[in-house]
Structures are given as structure tokens and as C-alpha cells.
Homo-oligomer: A and B are copies of this chain.
Amino acid sequence: MMELTRKGEYAIRGIVYLASRPTDQVCLLSDIAAAVDVPPTFLAKIFQQFSKIGLVKSYRGTGGGFILGRPADKITLLDVVEAVEGPIIPNRCVINGIDCDRSSSCNVHPVWMNVQSQVRGILDKVTLKELAEG
């Protein structure tokens, strides 16, 4: 239960690697993919998602590649995970607005709310800077 998909794992590996590189140096996707051992075409999709929400900045054409969209200490693991996996949802009923008809009287519901809150808290306290340096 609660398992990160490969996509999520790949996403983290890729962007942590990027964070470990010199800040101003654009990185080739193919280089990142090779370094973190991820299928390049798959990682491309992931970085496209990153790019759309500004987690990374992309440059096209010759000499193009990727750099972080903001400083590594301003990007959290939660940002990365939610970018590719969607929100942290231990159960459907924690989604705002979408609740099951039992939720008002359900004693399990608050437990999932708590799980969600704790997990988000943990992931939000970890930045790419910490992950890249250690």
C-alpha cells in the first residue's frame, strides 16, 4: 500500500541529480537519464511535467537542456512528488469536495485526514538542496 510509482521514483532521482549539478549549467536530458538510470523517453515526459509548473526551466535547440526553476532549497520533495503523482490522497474522501456519503458519520475519515497531513508534512520539510548534498 501507498507505493510510489516508478514515475515518481524516476522523477525524484532525475531532479535531485539536476540539483546536484552547478546551478547555471544546463543539463542534457540524455545525460540526466544516463546518470540516474532511467529510460530517456520516460524521463522526458516527467521533465515536461516539471517544466509546465516551473519546477525546472527548459531550453530548446542546440545547447539546450534543463536547469532548476528555482533554488534547490526552495523546492521540496512534496513539490516533486505531487508534480508527477498528483496530490497525496490516502483515501478518496480526503479530497476536498469529493466526499463519500458516509463521511459525516465516519470515524475512519479523520484518520485519513491525519495520514495525509503527516505525510505532506514530512515531504514538505525536505528540500532538494538537502537531498543533493546530504
Chain B residues with Cβ below 8 Å from A119 are 2, 115, 118-119
A118 to B90, alpha carbons, bound, how many Å?
13
Query: Within the complex, which residue of B114, B130, B134 is in contact with A122, where a contact is CB–CB below 8 Å?
Result: B114
A67 to chain B, nearest CB (A): 21
A53 to B41, alpha carbons, bound, how many Å?
44
- A4 and B91 contact, Cβ closer than 8 Å, known pairs A119-B118, A119-B119: yes
Asked if A31 is an interface residue, CB under 8 A from chain B, the answer is: no
Contact check, A123 vs B115: say whether CB atoms are below 8 A apart: yes
Q: Assembly of this chain: how many copies? A: 2
CB-defined A-B contacts under 8 Å, sample of 18: A1-B5, A1-B8, A1-B86, A1-B88, A2-B3, A2-B88, A2-B119, A3-B90, A3-B91, A4-B112, A77-B108, A77-B111, A105-B134, A107-B131, A107-B133, A108-B131, A114-B122, A115-B123
